[in-house]
Structure 1
């Protein structure tokens, strides 16, 4: 009876629980996430070769000496796809399947992460968190699709730096690494406007301040794009231009939200220890209610020579 009473005990409405309970819940969330990833990993093992070919598709491959000679005559560069060592094919096979399973199971482990944090959030914070998942996922997928589109245009530029007469040997691991890094860089960079909007909704960052930062932000975005993309202007512009547009879009949203907040609450921009301005404009004061009177309007008779007040 004591055990059943503990299991049926009402949860704290504010999500408070002992440290051991937090650790137990974290363990349960991790187990549920792994239960979603492991079956997908088994399924992905059967299609890992096809997925690997899809990842390495942007690489221009010369399979024969004749294709290599034709590419050199045309002034183009191509590479030979290789796998080094006896265990490399198997480890690459498992690596591709694992990445596929983790990405495919993202809705499950993202929900488990959200469910672990949700009890400690306020109602407004939960609403913002759900909005973050709703808008953040399309933004990340857009960045990932843009990165996949960029790879076939960026790889020939990188191969163009090769010395004349040299043969480019590109391993499958290298292609997987550069693809994953570029997809993550583009996907996470597309989350910048969402982070700025959340900071504005939380009252941390104002739209006016974001607008004042536009020169520094454009410079930082350009430097970031140059660092994470291959060394060619096209790649940098493909990443920098959309993020800059999204930044100004987030700034416009913040300005509109600040104006709406100021209209509904004029003292919203004041600090906690700052006094608001007093309105000293004179106003007409209406007459107060009269004392109890008789029906004819004459004063009420006193009781024993004294009225009710004395």
Structure 2
């Protein structure tokens, strides 16, 4: 009688083998196996995010050696305001206001999850990659790896720029309007939401030049098109920066617009070098006079057709012998008929 536990272990082991790159290098799966694989990868990613959220929740109020706490990092731009324009409570120093019950807990939870996702980003990004990669060719995997690496660097660069610009923007918004009739005491929820939105908007906006480069690599955008569209792209960037920046101050708008213009110009120059390289290759191989819908004149010499592998060759020889024998018997039959 079969043991149900051993059968379950055997099925589980066979499933792991089907998902393994060693036993299944091309990643072929049935539809239900894809669903199970997606569920498994999603569960691992959620566990990673949960663990990162716990770490971020703890880090919000605890400094780690020379690294300040996450709360201090977020409140630093507000605390950098002059003391004559913000309210300080006696014995409390620079603090934000809690205007609702449990508001501080919810802020710490939200910031902890956001910070934790950044801390454990390699873990949940790996789960996403492990689900997608088996369906890609080796060249596509190389491009995807490069894209993710540069996207991470650009997002971090945008967030750092936003963090450096926010103190100047706050000083302009708070100190230059209202005269002596207003003092600043920001509510915690609104201030933290403002900070997170600025960081995310700057980080995501910095991905646009990378998208231009990737579209040029796959042949969707050419340098000549980008050259003609350069003025429109610059104008669109300034319009986008004017509407996307949450504070509506000129400093953050100009910082985002100028940074994007420089990055887009760099992307256009990279596209120019790439297209020039492709054009040189076309001239060397004689493709430059071909239309887009005309086949390239490849010099292709078939190899391995006359001399196939040994099993196929023996089978081919057996087939030829059989067909030859059949022809011989037909010939003899025809001779007998004539006789």
Same fold, TM exceeding 0.5?
yes
Q: Deviations over 1:79-114 (max 9, x none)?
A: 562011221122122122211111111111112112
User: 1:88 matched to which residue of 2?
Assistant: 103
Task: Kindly report the root-mean-square deviation, in angstroms, between the aligned alpha carbons of the 2 structures.
Answer: 2.6
Aligned partner of residue 160 in structure 2, secondary structure: helix
Q: Does the 8 A contact of 2:77 with 2:166 survive in 1?
A: yes
The 1-side partners of 2:101 and 2:251 are apart by 38
The 1-side partners of 2:288 and 2:40 are apart by 42
Q: Deviations over 1:283-308 (max 9, x none)?
A: xxxxxxxxxxxxxxxxxxxxxxxxxx
1:236 aligns with 2:257: no
Q: Does the 8 A contact of 1:37 with 1:102 survive in 2?
A: yes
Aligned partner of residue 223 in structure 1, secondary structure: helix
User: 2:24 matched to which residue of 1?
Assistant: 11
Matched ranges for 1:1-310 at <5 A? 3=11, 7-9=16-18, 10-11=23-24, 13=26, 15-49=27-61, 50-60=69-79, 71=84, 77-78=85-86, 81-159=96-174, 160-162=176-178, 164-229=180-245, 230-266=247-283, 267=287, 273-274=293-294
Q: Deviations over 1:140-199 (max 9, x none)?
A: 111111000011000122223346423433111112111111111111111111111111
**Using a 3 Å threshold, how does the CA distance of structure 1 residues 205 and 141 change in structure 2: closer, same or farther?**
same
Aligned partner of residue 58 in structure 1, secondary structure: helix
Unaligned runs of at least 5 residues, structure 1: 72-76, 278-310
Q: Does the 8 A contact of 1:144 with 1:184 survive in 2?
A: yes
Q: Deviations over 1:12-31 (max 9, x none)?
A: 62x34222222211111122
TM-score (norm 2): 0.71
Deviates more, 1:26-35 or 1:174-183: 26-35
Q: Does the 8 A contact of 2:223 with 2:271 survive in 1?
A: yes
Unaligned runs of at least 5 residues, structure 2: 1-6, 62-68, 89-95, 298-339
- Structure having the higher helix fraction is 2
TM-score (norm 1): 0.77
